[in-house]
């Protein structure tokens, strides 16, 4: 049963949190619009499309900046309680410090779950939709580099269990060169069902793919290859992926993939490949990253209660510096995880565990 003190503490926190979340969204739009406004005008982008672009960015900004908004809102909330001597009154009444902080910890955990769900349900789709309005250069750069240095371009259609490798990719003419398409069965064993090799391929909108100078190999249930069939021209209408899809899904854009797509893509890759390590780290990062909503409550609470009496600015600056340190350390460990120098689950969760320990220690010192 929720007690009166819990309801009071929660209400005193939710309104500042709403203001902070709104403020970070407005600041992002103002900063990003000032950077892209000239490009929008030069490209004659309609106003309704600009509005849609920033609406698509709402869940993206929320997932990134929700922990920071929680930090600022809690500092403001606890600062007011401390300045009005309400914290002192509660503790004089026999209420333990952890009991005062407990409602905020519960809210921090709830917001962690909300942010985690939003990161999976809305963020990948929002990034894809936003990228259609403002093209992201990273995928183009990755693909061009892959073509210029002679290495193959890889693409995994995780939904249909199909992997592609090709020497060249042109999203303008919808063509690929020296392409190999490997299809897998939709089962736990993930055995090969067929391999298509072609000198070139062309995607025809509304129809599907045409491949030229084709060698097609099908596999028996026991995995043995059946005799190869050769065709001068072969149609694959059920191949729905386009060159534009392949370009947008290059390794630079794993953030546009959902959890399920990442898991399926990892099943097609060698555990020693760089892309597998990047996907594995991205999966753990998405689970551990939103936990900052809970961690920042523990970091903000001691400074919001104690340093506010000594000086509001000092408490705010100290907490913000701790949080910036958290993000720097998290980025460092994520880099180690992507390079395979540390297990992804350890790299993702170690900053959270360390900062949680710091927050608990600071709270215990105030008892």
What integer pLDDT is reported at residue 259 of this predicted model? 81
What integer pLDDT is reported at residue 293 of this predicted model? 92
Alpha-carbon gap, residue 173 to 203, rounded angstroms: 9
- Tell me, yes or no, whether 274 lies in a domain: no
Alpha-carbon gap, residue 249 to 334, rounded angstroms: 21
pLDDT tens, N- to C-terminus, the chain (367 residues): 457 888 888 888 999 999 999 998 999 889 888 888 887 887 787 888 888 888 888 988 898 889 988 988 888 888 888 888 888 888 888 888 888 888 999 999 999 999 999 888 888 878 877 777 765 543 333 333 334 445 678 887 777 788 888 988 887 888 999 999 999 887 656 688 999 999 999 999 989 999 999 999 999 888 888 999 999 999 998 898 888 777 755 554 677 777 877 776 676 566 777 777 888 898 999 999 999 999 999 888 887 776 544 555 665 676 678 778 888 999 999 999 888 889 999 999 999 999 899 888 888 887 6
| Full domain range(s) for residue 141 | 136-253
Query: What total number of domains does the chain contain?
Result: 2
Q: Which residues of 190-227 are buried (b: 16+ CB within 10 A; e: fewer)?
A: eeebbbbbbebbebeeeeebbbeebbbeebeeeeeeee
Residues 126 and 159 in one domain: no
Residues 121 and 190 in one domain: no
**What's the per-residue H, E or C state across 28-58?**
HHHHHHHHHHHHHHHCCCCHHHHHHHHHHHH
- Tell me, yes or no, whether 46 lies in a domain: yes
Alpha-carbon gap, residue 177 to 334, rounded angstroms: 35
What integer pLDDT is reported at residue 139 of this predicted model? 36
Place of tokens 């819990």: 6
What integer pLDDT is reported at residue 304 of this predicted model? 76
**What's the per-residue H, E or C state across 155-190?**
EEECCCCEEEEEEEEECCCCEEEEEEEEEECCCCCC
Candidates 148, 140, 158; CA nearest to 269 is 158
Residues 96 and 189 in one domain: no
- Tell me, yes or no, whether 264 lies in a domain: no
What integer pLDDT is reported at residue 145 of this predicted model? 35
Residues 120 and 151 in one domain: no
Going from the C-alpha of 350 to that of each of 334, 338, 345, 353, 356, the distances in angstroms are: 10, 15, 8, 5, 10
Residues 108 and 159 in one domain: no
- Tell me, yes or no, whether 23 lies in a domain: yes
Going from the C-alpha of 321 to that of each of 72, 177, 316, the distances in angstroms are: 12, 51, 9
* DSSP 8-state class, residue 273: S
Helix or strand run (H / E) with residue 200: strand 192-204
Alpha-carbon gap, residue 74 to 323, rounded angstroms: 13
What integer pLDDT is reported at residue 141 of this predicted model? 32
Domain edge (last residue) among 236, 253, 270: 253
Cβ contacts of residue 294 below 8 Å, gap of 6+? 105, 108, 109, 111, 112, 356
Residues 104 and 155 in one domain: no
Residues 244 and 306 in one domain: no
Cβ contacts of residue 130 below 8 Å, gap of 6+? 53, 56, 57, 60
Alpha-carbon gap, residue 343 to 358, rounded angstroms: 23
* Residues forming a β-bridge with 308: none
Q: How far does CA 229 lie from the centroid of its chain? A: 43
Alpha-carbon gap, residue 348 to 286, rounded angstroms: 9
Residues 67 and 155 in one domain: no
Residues 15 and 117 in one domain: yes
Cβ contacts of residue 311 below 8 Å, gap of 6+? none
Within the chain, how many helices (H) and strands (E) appear? 13, 6
Candidates 366, 78, 136, 150; CA nearest to 256 is 136
- Tell me, yes or no, whether 279 lies in a domain: no
Residues 55 and 152 in one domain: no
- Tell me, yes or no, whether 268 lies in a domain: no
User: Which CATH number goes with the domain that contains 217?
Assistant: 2.60.450
Complete edge-to-edge strand list for the sheet that includes strand 192-204 = 153-157, 162-170, 175-184, 192-204, 208-218, 229-236
Going from the C-alpha of 362 to that of each of 108, 325, 367, the distances in angstroms are: 18, 16, 9
What integer pLDDT is reported at residue 253 of this predicted model? 63
Domain edge (last residue) among 230, 253, 276: 253
Residues 147 and 122 in one domain: no
Residues 172 and 249 in one domain: yes
Domain edge (last residue) among 204, 238, 253: 253
Please provide residue 362's backbone torsions phi and psi, each rounded to the nearest 5 degrees. -65, -40
- Whole-structure pTM over 0.85, yes or no? no
What integer pLDDT is reported at residue 353 of this predicted model? 93
């Amino acid at each position: 049963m929720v007690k009166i003190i819990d309801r009071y503490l929660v209400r005193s926190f939710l309104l500042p949190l709403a203001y902070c979340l709104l403020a970070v969204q407005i600041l992002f739009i103002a900063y990003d619009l000032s950077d892209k406004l000239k490009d929008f005008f030069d490209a004659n982008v309609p106003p309704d499309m600009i509005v849609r672009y920033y609406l698509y960015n709402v869940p993206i900004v929320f997932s990134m900046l929700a922990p920071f908004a929680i930090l600022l809102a809690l500092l403001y909330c606890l600062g007011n309680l401390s300045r009005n001597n309400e914290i002192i009154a509660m503790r004089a009444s026999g209420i333990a410090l952890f009991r005062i902080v407990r409602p905020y910890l519960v809210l921090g955990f709830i917001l962690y779950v909300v942010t985690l769900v939003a990161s999976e349900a809305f963020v990948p789709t929002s990034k894809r939709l936003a990228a259609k309005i403002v093209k992201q250069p990273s995928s183009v750069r990755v693909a061009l580099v892959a073509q210029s240095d002679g290495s193959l371009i890889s693409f995994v259609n995780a939904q249909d269990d199909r992997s592609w490798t090709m020497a060249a990719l042109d999203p303008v003419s919808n063509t690929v060169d020296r392409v190999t398409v490997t299809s897998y069965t939709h089962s736990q064993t993930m055995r090969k069902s067929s391999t298509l090799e072609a000198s070139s391929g062309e995607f025809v909108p509304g129809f599907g793919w045409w491949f030229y100078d084709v060698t097609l190999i099908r596999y028996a249930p026991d995995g043995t290859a059946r005799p190869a069939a050769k065709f001068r021209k072969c149609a694959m209408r059920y191949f729905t992926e386009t060159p534009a899809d392949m370009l947008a899904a290059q390794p630079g854009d794993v953030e546009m993939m959902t959890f399920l797509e990442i898991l399926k893509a990892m099943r097609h890759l060698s555990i020693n490949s760089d892309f597998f390590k990047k996907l594995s780290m991205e999966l753990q990062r998405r689970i551990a990253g939103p936990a900052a909503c809970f961690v920042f409550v523990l970091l903000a609470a001691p400074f919001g209660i104690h340093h506010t009496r000594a000086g509001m600015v000092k408490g705010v600056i100290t907490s913000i510096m701790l949080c910036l340190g958290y993000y720097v350390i998290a980025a460092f460990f994520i880099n180690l995880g992507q390079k395979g120098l540390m297990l992804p689950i350890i790299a993702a969760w170690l900053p959270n565990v360390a900062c949680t320990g710091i927050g608990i220690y600071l709270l215990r010192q105030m008892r």
